[in-house]
Amino acid sequence: MKMLPVRFEESEIEEIRAQAAAEGRSLQDFVHDMLMTAIATRTQRRRAALDHVLRVSEGLNKRLAQ
């Protein structure tokens, strides 16, 4: 598995440590899952936005293609 050093402000890392501890998880596992969840959420939002734009502009796109 590859490693990715990430820099945090002291206050940020303390927040992250506190959340990980509250969930009884290691800092590494907590941050990994947090990042992967954020990526999945952004991907879903991007797809939803693109789908919305395609639906809303479908008629215009058909007219422009003629």
Task: Give the side-chain half-sphere CA count within 13 A for 45.
Answer: 6
Q: How far is CA 29 from CA 16, 41, 48, 60, in A?
A: 11, 18, 28, 47
Global model pTM greater than 0.85 = no
Locus of tokens 């947090």: 34
Burial of residue 13 (CB within 10 Å: 0-12, 13-18, 19+) is: middle
Domain coverage including residue 58: 40-66
Could you give the angle at the alpha carbon of 43 between the alpha carbons of 38 and 48, nearest 5°? 125
**What's the total number of domains in the chain?**
1
Residue 52 domain-assigned (yes or no): yes
What is the model's pLDDT at position 61? 82
Strand, helix or coil at 27? helix
16 lies in some domain: no
Is 56 domain-assigned? yes
Residues of the chain falling short of pLDDT 70: none
